Structure formats: structure tokens, C-alpha cells
Structure 1
């Protein structure tokens, strides 16, 4: 405890780090306050803020910290920006023009950011209108009409763009990745209420069961941390070069390939696609097939839903890993810089070797990711409350662990630069950025 207090003192003794932490807290407070400002024209007294949303709607509500159910100006949060970023990122791997922009350095990244912002506006227009028509109860709208929908969509666009601005300010003036911090604070904001509801449900009769739940949750968090940090290091040897009268090169290095290179993206893709069974059921509502699909896949904790969800995560993990890590580019860069994998010929054989290693580690990583994604369903079946069960796995837990590790790593970097002791006595904090694929 004494060492922990000393670490806190060291953190706040660094002026730059102290200012960044306070800036981050201020921006996050603004984000949370905005989630309670209801859209003009909606009666807040008629809103059912505690209604149960599932599927993609519950996914958005969790990421927005309840702003979705509150019908607030931040109802869509930064989800349109995330969708636009995913689309632009996929285009960067599939379309030559976007590939060229990605390789142009800062100017190319600025152009890609402009495309992402413009695409965010169009996505927000579509999602905003769908949100007002499908997710808002018509009885809470005081004066429904074209004027209400036009102004509300404009406000939702402004809210999403303001959230983007907050994220960028946190990245520039605060600590951690701004967009990730906004998602994390939205998820964390729902933890206290879920924990209180679980305690009130379990105590006093089921107090032992609640203690078991906490131990299981701790074990799951440890497993997710291990999944996030696990890497397979491929050794690299650089050839020696004589330049003038000096000898350069000859050093040894490694390529860190993550066990879970795709991160949370497969779960996000699969979660978005799980919205389609409900659409199919709505289109065929009068048929037996539509009734079966609607009754089966409307419950996110059913075994059919979990099986389909896990299957799509498995497919998307291999797909996303394949498009984000190009073994041929890695092999070409190694050959160009005079590096090689010991025992493997440079060029094509090196690319095949890296691809083989990547395939072998992606399968257990994908299976582990599937298990983490469906754990909330098993938690509900075991008697855990639905709100508290969301923190037993899925996207929420993976994002929380990843963001916390990244933030701790940045804080530790400031401490080490000022010659203070690190935050972990057993070793350095390792965030996701430390394991970026070469």
C-alpha cells in the first residue's frame, strides 16, 4: 500500500502528466454530462431509460453509456465514426487508391481522416433517422413531424462530431487513446448500477454465490489480459555491412506476432451482423420460418445465438488477421533491410514461414476469442444478472482490458523518463501498442 501511494505521488509530481490526467478527466465528465441532455422535442418524463435492449441496439447503448436509451444528443456516440473508420480501413487493404494514400505518410493519413469524417456524417444521417424512427417510442415525441426529424438528425450529427472532437482532444491533451477512452467510460459507467443490482439480488440469501461470481470474474480478467499480451516472437538476424571504415548491422531482433492480432474487431463485425436475423424475422413474420428465427435469435443468451455468434467470430478473426498482416510485405521489408529469419531463405520462403506461424497461432487465439465472446451467455445461464453478466466477457471486457493496459503503459513511460520506479514491481506494463506487428 505504501508503494502504491508513493507511485501516485510520483505521477502527480510530474506536471505534464498531472495536467494530462486532469484534462482527460475533464473531457470525460463533459462526455458523461452530454449523455443526459435529451433531444429537443422529446418528453423526458415518458422515456423508459431502463428498457432492455438487445442485439446491436444493446451493443450501441453499452458503448454510449446509456445515452442511447436516454435519447440524448450523444445517443449514437462515436459508433458512426467507428463504422466509418472500419470501412476506410478495409478500403485501405482492398482499393489501390486508398493503399497509396496509406503509404504517403502524414499527408496520406490526413486525407484518409478527411474521408473518414465525411463518411461519418453520411453514416450518422442514416443511423440517426433509423434511430428516431425505430428506437424511439412515438409517444415520447411531443410534436412529430418533418421539422422534428430534420432538427434531431442535425443535432445527432453535431453530437457525434463533438464526441469525435473530444476523443481527439483527449489524445492530444490527455492520456491514452481518446476514442477508446470514450468507449471505456461508457462501459464503466454501467458497472456500478449492474454491481448494485447484483448485490441486491444475491444478498443475503445468495452471498456465497456472489463471492464465487467475483472470483470467476477475476479469473476471466486475468485470462483476457494474458490473451491481450500473448505474442509469438519470430527471431530475426540482420546481416553485417561495412560502410567506410565502420561495421554496421549484425544485431538480433524479433517480429512479435500477437496471439489475437485482430483484437475486438471480429466481435464487433459479428455483433453487427447478428442484427440481420431480426430483420429476416420481421420480413417473414407471418411464416413459420420467420417465427422460429425471431423467437430463437431475439434472445442473445440462447445456444443457437451463441453458436452462430461464435462461428462468425471464428471466420472474421481469420479474415481480419489476413487483411491486416501481410506476410509478403513483412518478408520484403526484411529482405530490403538486410534481415532474415535464421534457417529460412529470404523472400518467398520467409513469407510462407511467417504465414504458417500466423495461421497456427490464430486458431487458438480465435477459439479463445469465441469463448470470451459467449461467456456472458454462460454467466446468465449460471444465474448471473444480465446487466452484470455483460462484464464476464464479450467486447466490453476486451475493450476495458486493452484501454487500461494502454493507459497504464503511457503513464509508466512518463515515470521511467523521469527516472521514477515503474508501476509494476515484477516488470513493465505492456500495452497493445507494444506488440504491433512489423
Structure 2
């Protein structure tokens, strides 16, 4: 990796892209420290201290902006949610599906719809976030004017982040939105290490618990790296051409890696698990709020056994569901047939589509179970260690490793392209 970065730095074009990436990231990190006025952040600790809570997830994805309640408290989550929703709607609405197949023009139209949708979703999320912090007594001014000011500030800042991510994609290296999430998660590591060190010095956790924490984190990291690099390969045989030595064909494969589906599944599962509480924040004194929040058998209670089991099941389901709608076995089989390719032992056409669908189903369930373990493990570890310094969760590891690998592939692609350009110019 370091060798690849050194080679990239020597090329003027790539060096310019790297510098743009650094500058834009610095601008974003400066905005992290601009607070929203009128909010007592000391009363938000309970919302962000739990590893599996929605507040902890927001704080992780925003790089600590939620716990400090800065202008970037929502991060890029509205844009991510809008992208997921629009992608799902392209399956259900024929006009959007046709638009997606129009090439570059269709892609630009889809992006425009996603941008406007993210603003609407951001406005709704800011209202929900305002209700949540208001229920915690963190607002010094509860007037309507202050509510509108906070909502306008957060929505505008989220829209600016969407624009900043697009600039990172165009002028920098890799996907801008993913890089913002990457920087946010990485920025929480020093804070987590400092808090764990403070707990150890105060003898709040003993050496055995500290060793268990380190071992589990390292094991999770290694498992995530291996899983992100792993892929299920479907062998493909292409029809050969007649030569003097006989019939010669080509053998290839279709690589299946659904790491992105697992990450999205975790976001979906957390949203479903927290949606009832988010809605009930508008009626904090109702009986339903107390039953769901504090009920003995409630599966929506943070870090309870029921919550962990339900989230684990939802992650498996959403991984399978999202894989089924994003990967299209019929189109894959049709494209394979047009290229004179076939899966050895499987007839072309409908049998090939059914075979690919079966393989995708098995891989998605396996990946979903792995992602579920990665998401639930920090909650279990937190119960044992009794620590609030669990910002670098399994979900964060999945995102960090996935984005790092994608960024390195993008740099390598630029380097390969420069080699071909140099070869062609000679």
C-alpha cells in the first residue's frame, strides 16, 4: 500500500488529486468543530455511550459531530438513505428503471433525484433529531424559532456535505461520500484509545478485561479484512475458436462479493430497530413509550438480548433482500449467453439464472450472518468490559476496510491507466 502511494505521489496528476483529497477533508474536519448554538452537549452522553444505540451509530458515522452537536451532526446519512431508497425504487417503478438504462444521461437524472430526495430526508431526520435531543433536556431554548434555526442549520450543512462528497469524487481519489465516512470512523480511534486508557488507569476495568477487549477487536479486524477480500467465484466457460491444434476456449469467472450489501443491511436493521422509538419521541409521556423503552420483554431496549437477536435476524434478512434486488441473475445469464459463455454443467438461459440466484442466496445468508456477528459483538463486549469507549464498532470496521480497499484499487487503476497512456504515446 505504501509503495502504491509513493508511486502515485510521483505522478503530477495523481499528486494533484491526493492534495485535493487532503484539502477537502481538512475543510470538512474544520466544520466538525463548529457547534450548533443552544444545545447542552453534556446531556447527550447517554444517547452516544451505548455501542448498539442509534445515537452511538450517528456519532460514529459523523466522526463525533453528534456528541458535540456540531453543524455536521447528521453527516452524510441523509444522502446515503436517499441513495438506498432511490435504488430500491428503481426496481419498483418502471420509469426509474428505464431511466437507469439510458446510460450517462439516465445516471445524471437519477443523481439529481437522489440529491433532492436527500434534502427532504435530511429535513425529516433533523426534525426527529431535534425531538430526540429535546426529550433529553439538552435544549436551552425550546421556542419554534430555535427549532427552525436548528433544523435549517443541520439540513443546510448536510446538503453542503453532499456537495463536498461529490467534489471529492470528481477532484480527489475514490468515492467522496465513502471517504467522508472513512475519515469519520478513523477519527474516533484516538478518542476510544484515550478513554480505554483512562478507564484502565482508574482501575474501572482490570487487565483481563483489557486483554479480552484487545483480542476481540484484533480478531474482528482480521475477520473483516479476510471477508472483504474473499469472493465466491462462479466459473464461466466461453465457446472456443477452431485452431490448427483443435478447439480452444477461454475460462473465466464471475466474482461475487456483497460487502456493500452487508453494510447497507446493518444500516437498514438499525433504522428498523430504532424507528418505533424515534416516532415515540414525539409522545415521551405515553404508555407505549414506557413499554417499548423500558418493558421487560421489549426487543427495542438497547443492548438487551432480545435487541441483539432481533437485529441479527434483520441483518441477515436485509442482506439477502438487498442482494436479490441489486444483483439480477436474469440479466447476468442473458449477458453470459450473448457472449457465448456458460457455467460448466448448467444449461444456458433459465437454468443458469436459477443457479446464479441460488448461489447469491447462499452467499448473502452467509454474509448476513457474518455481518450480524460483527454488528452484535461490540454490544456483547461492552456488557463484559463495562466500557463506554466502543466507538470503533464492527460496523465501522466493515466500512473502513471496504473503503480502504476500494480507494487503493482506484489508485492502482489510475497507475495502470498512466502506464497504458505512456505505452500508447511511444
TM-score for both structures, normalised by structure 2: 0.86
Q: Confirm or deny that 1:305 pairs with 2:307.
A: yes
Equivalent position of 1:149 in the other structure: 147
Question: Residue 139 of structure 1: CA displacement?
Answer: 6.6
Distance between the aligned counterparts of 1:312 and 1:19, measured in 2? 43
Equivalent position of 1:435 in the other structure: none
Distance between the aligned counterparts of 1:291 and 1:60, measured in 2? 19
Question: Residue 379 of structure 1: CA displacement?
Answer: 1.0
Distance between the aligned counterparts of 1:239 and 1:9, measured in 2? 42
Equivalent position of 2:16 in the other structure: 19
On the 8 A contact 2:166/2:176 being kept in 1, the answer is yes
On the 8 A contact 1:202/1:209 being kept in 2, the answer is no
Unaligned residue ranges in structure 2 (runs of 5+): 420-426
Q: Confirm or deny that 1:225 pairs with 2:222.
A: no
Distance between the aligned counterparts of 1:336 and 1:414, measured in 2? 30
Equivalent position of 2:196 in the other structure: 198
Q: Confirm or deny that 1:53 pairs with 2:53.
A: no
Aligned counterpart for 2:187 among listed residues 182, 186, 189 = 189
Question: Residue 261 of structure 1: CA displacement?
Answer: 6.3
Question: Residue 412 of structure 1: CA displacement?
Answer: 3.5
Please list the CA deviations of residues 62-81 of structure 1 after superposition, one character each: whole Å capped at 9, or x if unmatched: 21112223332222221111
Unaligned residue ranges in structure 1 (runs of 5+): 420-438
Q: Confirm or deny that 1:275 pairs with 2:274.
A: yes
Question: Residue 119 of structure 1: CA displacement?
Answer: 1.0
Distance between the aligned counterparts of 2:81 and 2:257, measured in 1? 24
Question: Residue 304 of structure 1: CA displacement?
Answer: 1.1
Indicate how the Cα distance of structure 1 residues 356 and 375 shifts in structure 2: closer, same or farther if over 3 A, else same: same
Indicate how the Cα distance of structure 1 residues 107 and 48 shifts in structure 2: closer, same or farther if over 3 A, else same: same
Distance between the aligned counterparts of 2:285 and 2:208, measured in 1? 46
Question: Residue 133 of structure 1: CA displacement?
Answer: 3.4
Question: Residue 306 of structure 1: CA displacement?
Answer: 0.3
Indicate how the Cα distance of structure 1 residues 249 and 34 shifts in structure 2: closer, same or farther if over 3 A, else same: farther
Please list the CA deviations of residues 16-35 of structure 1 after superposition, one character each: whole Å capped at 9, or x if unmatched: 22222222122111111112
Matching of residues 10-409 of structure 1 within 5 Å: 10-39=7-36, 42-43=37-38, 46-48=40-42, 51-53=45-47, 55-136=53-134, 144-203=142-201, 206-207=206-207, 209-240=209-240, 250-258=249-257, 260=259, 262-278=261-277, 279=279, 285=287, 289-290=291-292, 292-293=294-295, 296-297=298-299, 299-383=301-385, 385-388=387-390, 390-393=391-394, 395-409=395-409
Distance between the aligned counterparts of 2:404 and 2:55, measured in 1? 25
Question: Residue 364 of structure 1: CA displacement?
Answer: 2.0
TM-score for both structures, normalised by structure 1: 0.84
Aligned length: 407
Distance between the aligned counterparts of 1:224 and 1:177, measured in 2? 20
Distance between the aligned counterparts of 2:42 and 2:407, measured in 1? 35
On the 8 A contact 1:300/1:377 being kept in 2, the answer is no
Which structure has more relative contact order (CA 8 Å, sep 6+)? It is 2
Distance between the aligned counterparts of 1:124 and 1:261, measured in 2? 22
Question: Residue 61 of structure 1: CA displacement?
Answer: 2.2
Distance between the aligned counterparts of 1:291 and 1:17, measured in 2? 51
On the 8 A contact 2:237/2:249 being kept in 1, the answer is yes
Indicate how the Cα distance of structure 1 residues 298 and 387 shifts in structure 2: closer, same or farther if over 3 A, else same: farther
